[in-house]
Amino acid sequence: MSCHLPEQLQKAFWPHDVHVTKVACASCHSLHPQQDTMQTLSDKGRIKICVDCHSDQRTNPNFNPASVPLLKEQP
């Protein structure tokens, strides 16, 4: 994975457009891990992470995206 290249990342997967989503990379990815959790998830698993985060955001006005654990049970 090439980090710090927002245009290329956004083309690969739209949620990577961090300027639009206002979410830091570390909100979803581990920094410099041996194996990034997001890369081990299936498409369904990645979608579940997005849905869980956005559900929490809608119901909690003090929502912090960094508080969403990535090691939730994988679908």
Give pLDDT tens digits for 34-54: 887 777 888 888 888 778 877
User: Do residues 37 and 70 lie in contact, with contact meaning Cβ atoms separated by under 8 Å?
Assistant: yes
Nearest alpha carbon to residue 25 among 12, 6, 41: 6
Highest mean pLDDT, choosing among 9-18, 23-32, 39-48: 39-48
- Residue appearing with tokens 């290329």: 8
Q: How confident is the model at residue 63 (pLDDT cuts 50, 70, 90)?
A: confident
Asked whether the predicted pLDDT for residue 15 surpasses 60, the reply is yes
pLDDT band at 14 (very low <50, low <70, confident <90, very high): low
Question: What b-and-e string marks burial along 28-67, b requiring 16 or more CB atoms within 10 Å of the CB?
Answer: bbeeeeeeebbeebeeebbebbeeebeeeeeeeeeeebee
Asked if pLDDT for residue 21 goes beyond 80, the answer is no
